[in-house]
């Protein structure tokens, strides 16, 4: 059966109780935001470890009668300092939206540049961030590093904080199966096709979103029309293969058979897409519409078929498998 509406809202990033998102310039322009505890990070994925860090920041701030803010960077630092940036788990707009609904009083977005990356921790806090809010406590993960070459670790930042009456907390990382949860590990699970382990550490099914574009137009004739989804460059996709999942269009979720990677049988076709889905039970036009896909489990690897009959039989069998899990009807979840 289909997941509950609450589960679907979680998977498709429907947020509530969002708080303000301030650029550094906006926060400075209206004057410092006041005494605050801050959690700092790139927060790619806003996974279970990130949410725990923010929860601890909010709890400490409330006990001291001050506000709590999540401080993050745009663009992601990896895109600026790395010669080979990794694909990310969330586009920045979704990252900021989840942070704004995390329970903190707001989000402060610091523009990340090569010049900023070259600053030491003293310059970053005193010359950059202190103009946005009056920092009284800093919360980071125990592996946090700041400044050129990651020179400033928690112990260095804590020593600086002691001199200025600022508490610096380096929290132990949240673990799963004995190892720390991290965006890197989640990306590794996705690269292996292990979307269930990724979901365990994200706290939700991994989802991507994009726009439906024209494709090969062959699926309809085969009995399983597919929507080709164009996803933003730089977003992580799971390992090539076929997945059981869910597709969301205009606030309604449908069971979906999702293919990741160029289908080997049609790899030479100029209109083959790297991401396509059959929305089970859906009828209607999808071209040009936004569509999000959430991955539940990997069914099989990509394969080349010796005949059209073998392809049709295999794909229809996959669809029946997914129909047995999730049914066929759509579920409205955005209200």
> Which tokens sit at 183?
């965006």
In a shared domain, residues 27 and 161: yes
Q: What is the pLDDT of residue 214?
A: 80
In a shared domain, residues 211 and 163: no
In a shared domain, residues 145 and 288: no
pTM, 2 dp = 0.93
Cβ count near 272 (within 10 Å)? 18
In a shared domain, residues 168 and 245: no
Cβ count near 150 (within 10 Å)? 11
In a shared domain, residues 34 and 163: yes
Distance between start and end Cα atoms, the chain: 20
Q: Is residue 182 part of a domain?
A: no
The Cα–Cα gap between 93 and 76 comes to: 12
Q: What is the pLDDT of residue 270?
A: 42
What's the structural domain count of the chain? 2
Q: Is residue 171 part of a domain?
A: yes
CB-hemisphere CA count at 13 Å for 183?
18
In a shared domain, residues 96 and 26: yes
- Any idea what DSSP says for residue 306? S
What φ, ψ does residue 168 adopt, rounded to 5°? -120, 120
Q: Is residue 212 part of a domain?
A: yes
In a shared domain, residues 68 and 12: yes
Q: What is the pLDDT of residue 267?
A: 56
Task: Say how many residues make up the chain.
Answer: 335
In a shared domain, residues 10 and 142: yes
Q: Is residue 194 part of a domain?
A: no
E strand or H helix that includes residue 255: strand 252-260
In a shared domain, residues 141 and 210: no
Q: Is residue 304 part of a domain?
A: yes
Q: Is residue 192 part of a domain?
A: no
The Cα–Cα gap between 242 and 165 comes to: 55
Q: What angle do CA 21, 77, 17 make, to 5 degrees?
A: 20
Residuewise pLDDT in 10s, the chain (335 residues)? 999 999 999 999 999 999 999 999 998 888 789 899 999 999 999 999 999 999 999 999 999 999 999 999 999 999 999 999 999 999 999 999 999 999 999 999 999 999 999 999 999 999 999 999 999 999 999 999 998 888 899 999 999 999 999 999 999 999 999 999 999 999 999 999 999 999 999 999 999 999 999 865 554 445 578 999 999 999 999 999 999 999 999 999 999 999 999 876 655 554 446 899 999 999 999 999 999 999 999 999 999 888 889 989 999 999 999 999 999 889 999 98
Could you tell me if 38 and 71 are in contact, meaning their C-beta atoms sit under 8 angstroms apart?
A: yes
Q: Is residue 49 part of a domain?
A: yes
> Which tokens sit at 296?
């539940």
> Which tokens sit at 330?
């759509």
Q: Is residue 156 part of a domain?
A: yes
Tell me how far the alpha carbon of residue 233 is from its chain's centroid: 14
**DSSP code string of 182-213:** -HHHHHHHHHTT-HHHHHHHHTS-EEEEEEEE
What CATH number has the domain bearing residue 324? Answer: 2.40.30.30
Could you tell me if 99 and 107 are in contact, meaning their C-beta atoms sit under 8 angstroms apart?
A: yes
CA 164 → CA 69, 130, 157, 274, distances in Å? 20, 12, 11, 53
What CATH number has the domain bearing residue 143? Answer: 3.40.50.620
The Cα–Cα gap between 136 and 228 comes to: 49
In a shared domain, residues 161 and 211: no
In a shared domain, residues 22 and 141: yes
Domain with 235, as residue range(s), is 205-332
Q: What is the pLDDT of residue 308?
A: 87
CB-hemisphere CA count at 13 Å for 111?
8
β-strands 206-213, 227-231: how paired? antiparallel
> Which tokens sit at 195?
């979307």
In a shared domain, residues 131 and 223: no
């Amino acid at each position: 059966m289909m997941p509950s509406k609450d589960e679907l809202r979680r998977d498709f990033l429907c947020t509530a109780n969002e708080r303000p998102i301030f650029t550094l310039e906006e926060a400075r322009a209206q004057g410092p935001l006041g005494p605050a505890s801050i959690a700092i990070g790139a927060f790619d994925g806003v996974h279970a470890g990130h949410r725990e860090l923010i929860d601890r920041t909010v709890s400490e701030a409330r006990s001291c009668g001050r506000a709590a803010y999540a401080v993050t960077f745009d663009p992601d630092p990896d895109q600026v300092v790395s010669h080979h940036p990794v694909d990310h788990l969330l586009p920045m707009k979704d990252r900021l939206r989840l942070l704004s609904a995390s329970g903190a009083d707001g989000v402060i977005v610091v523009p990340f540049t090569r010049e900023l990356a070259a600053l030491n921790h003293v310059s970053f806090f005193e010359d950059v961030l202190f103009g946005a809010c009056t920092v009284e406590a800093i919360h980071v993960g125990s592996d946090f590093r700041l400044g050129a070459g990651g020179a400033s670790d928690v112990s260095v930042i804590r020593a600086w904080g002691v001199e200025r009456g600022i508490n610096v907390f380096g929290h132990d990382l949240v673990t799963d199966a004995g190892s720390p949860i991290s965006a890197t590990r989640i990306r590794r699970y996705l690269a292996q096709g292990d979307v269930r382990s990724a979901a365990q550490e994200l706290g939700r099914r991994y989802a991507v979103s994009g726009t439906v574009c024209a494709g090969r137009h062959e699926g309809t004739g085969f009995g399983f029309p597919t929507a080709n989804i164009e996803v933003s460059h730089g977003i992580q996709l799971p390992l090539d293969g076929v997945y059981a999942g869910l597709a969301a269009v205009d606030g309604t979720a449908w069971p979906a058979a999702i293919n990741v990677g160029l289908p080997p049988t049609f790899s030479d076709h100029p209109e083959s897409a790297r991401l396509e889905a059959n929305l089970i039970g859906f009828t209607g036009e999808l071209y040009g519409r936004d569509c999000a896909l959430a991955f539940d489990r990997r069914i099989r690897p990509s394969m080349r078929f010796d005949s059209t009959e073998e392809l049709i039989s295999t794909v229809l069998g996959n669809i029946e498998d997914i129909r047995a899990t999730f049914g066929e009807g759509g579920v409205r979840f955005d209200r």
